[in-house]
Structure 1
Amino acid sequence: MVVTDNVNFDTFRDCLFSAIVENPTGGGRKGSKRASVGRKGATVQQQATTEANPSELADFSDYLAAEIFASFPGELQELSYHALQDDAALGEKWSLPLTLSVFEDVSAHIPGDITDSLTAYGLIEPPRSDVQSFIAPVLSAYVGAATTPPPKWIETKTNACEICERDWVPMTYHHLIPRAVHTRVMKRGWHEEHQLNSVAWLCRACHSFVHRMASNEELAREWYTVEKICEREDVQKWAQWVQRVRWKKT
């Protein structure tokens, strides 16, 4: 039986959707070109994505997510930060980075029909890539999202994504000044210390888009507020497209 009423299902579906959008083949869309990712402006991949039919992409992602999530063991479906804290064995198995044996075990239980679908849509290209190579980053993103401890910025959480304004998908928090460059930011005096922990609440798809559009340093120097990010033409086009992505009611 497909498990779609689990609170973690929406999180997994969002991670899977992002992986399909980010895939260089464009999810099997005819005529799409492989992207050479630049640091500024929309990439070829992003342009191809915004030309895709959001309804069809949503239906395809929904189908894949439901079938794959249903193949997960119960402990993976019910994963949470507190579950890892309360069970040492569970914590050892599902803490990031995940081991190769975990990827192999999860992949082995994914239905063969899903492998066929991923191949047909160009998301995997045997023998160069397989279902395991496709699901590994999706699984890592899902586990990371499901087991992230409650942030201290929880009081700032919004009900809708601050870019696309969708309120029916899970929210993630984006460090407007990426933590990886905090030392450089302070050394060069780009921002005051109290600004370092500023966050925006974004859906997984918009969160991934922001990190594709610019490097961490560029985000820190130029795109350190939601308002500045939303001024970009490529972000506006992306938001208009992703707003049309809706999941079917189950």
Structure 2
Amino acid sequence: MTDNDNDNYDAFRDCLFSAVVGKLTTGPKKPPKKASLASQAAGAPAEPDPSELAEFSDYLATEIFSSLPEQLQRLSHQSLRDEALSEKWSLPLTLTVLEELVAHISGDVIDSLTAYSLIVPPESDVESFLAPVLSGYISAVTTPPPKWIDTRTDACEICEREWVPMTYHHLIPKQVHAKVLKRNWHDEHQLNSVAWLCRACHSFVHRMASNEELARDWYTVDLICQREDVQKWAQWVRRVRWKKT
């Protein structure tokens, strides 16, 4: 694997981990169904444990990422200059593309997703679970370096982990900039303030409050980190450790 391949795998694993955590910590609690030997080996816990959840997510990421086409595994901002690749992997992904990708995922992985209630047929399927994971991955690996790159930190500003990919979070979400200025919540020069967060913490922040609430009440990292739920989350996610490859 080249460094870029490793970076892409790390980005995919981070997106998948966030999806798994989101499902298991906010979704309905259902007893796991009988799983295959592979999923039993992964060990489905009754309550999400950071180390076991990391191991399970790593297993899923390795199996699913290795099943993806090589061009998707090595996707980058520069590679999208190829018109065929740009058309193929433009967002949102079509159902045809998702079905094509899912067709190459092993039955053991699908059994594991079902055992953890990450998919609950017929209400949800592998395509619906994988769509946001792939969308997050494609966005992460194809986004050009932002103008705020000089503000980048070595560690997530919430959980302080250094061994996971960083993403930038608009502290005042772009979708509500017009409302922010109209209501005089903040000065215009504050609109492009960002925080550098790991994917898991980034997803947590957007689950904890709406865009309007983030802009009005939680527009700095210090304010976000004052919340009790964020402090508990940070303590939990700090215990996640990826195995060395």
Any unmatched runs of 5+ in structure 1? 33-48
Whether 1:168 aligns to 2:163 is: yes
Give the conservation status (yes or no) of the 8 Å contact 2:161–2:238: yes
Percent identity reads 73
CA shift in 2, pair 1:5/1:89, >3 Å: closer
Which stretch shifts more, 223-232 or 4-13?
4-13
Any unmatched runs of 5+ in structure 2? 33-44
Which stretch shifts more, 51-60 or 226-235?
51-60
Deviations 1:187-240 (A, max 9, x none): 111101100000000000000000010111110111000000000000000000
Give the conservation status (yes or no) of the 8 Å contact 1:13–1:61: yes
Give the conservation status (yes or no) of the 8 Å contact 1:18–1:205: yes
In 1, the alpha carbon distance for the partners of 2:107 and 2:14 equals 22
Deviations 1:93-152 (A, max 9, x none): 111111111111111111111001111111111222221121111111111111111100
Deviations 1:65-117 (A, max 9, x none): 000000000000000111102x0110111111111111111111111110011
Whether 1:10 aligns to 2:5 is: no
Runs of 4+ in 1 over 3 A off after TM superposition: 24-32
In 2, the alpha carbon distance for the partners of 1:242 and 1:158 equals 18
In the other structure, the counterpart of 2:203 is 208
Give the conservation status (yes or no) of the 8 Å contact 2:5–2:73: no
In the other structure, the counterpart of 1:57 is 53
SS in 1 for 2:78: helix
Q: How does 1:65-214 map to 2 (within 5 A)?
A: 65-85=61-81, 87-214=82-209
Give the conservation status (yes or no) of the 8 Å contact 1:21–1:27: no
Give the conservation status (yes or no) of the 8 Å contact 1:28–1:121: no
Task: Please give the TM-score of this superposition, normalised by the length of structure 1.
Answer: 0.87
Residue type matched to 2:193 in 1? S
In the other structure, the counterpart of 1:39 is none
Pairwise CA distance, 1:52: 2.3
Task: Please give the TM-score of this superposition, normalised by the length of structure 2.
Answer: 0.89
In 1, the alpha carbon distance for the partners of 2:108 and 2:146 equals 38
